[in-house]
Structure 1
């Protein structure tokens, strides 16, 4: 599957590994959404994730639960 940031000419979505603030704690919005997704997927919720890690985990759980996907 092609991620949006891999599309030729797309510079609007940056890989979380390239975020300058990616090593900061996840945001409140990420925390809330990740908790919801984790519960729905029956997966463990890790409160200690960074912004970048939370973003990746959200993407994984969206695929698992079918939430938040536009394709």
Structure 2
């Protein structure tokens, strides 16, 4: 039973990692195509096929996907 629970948890974590990566990519694409350098969380979520609460759960705030992008804050 514990092994099954661990496999399920690992699958959830893998899905979160994949979703985070897709959201970062979607946010960067939107930023690149934006004349005013604005990124709409709704558009990012729609591009990935998730709801806005998922973005906030994974990143904490609306700027999270951009802050997590490599090279954006100097730490990744």
Give the TM-score normalised by structure 2.
0.25
Structure 1 or 2: more helix by fraction: 2
Q: Between Structure 1 and Structure 2, whose CA radius of gyration is higher?
A: 2
Give the TM-score normalised by structure 1.
0.27
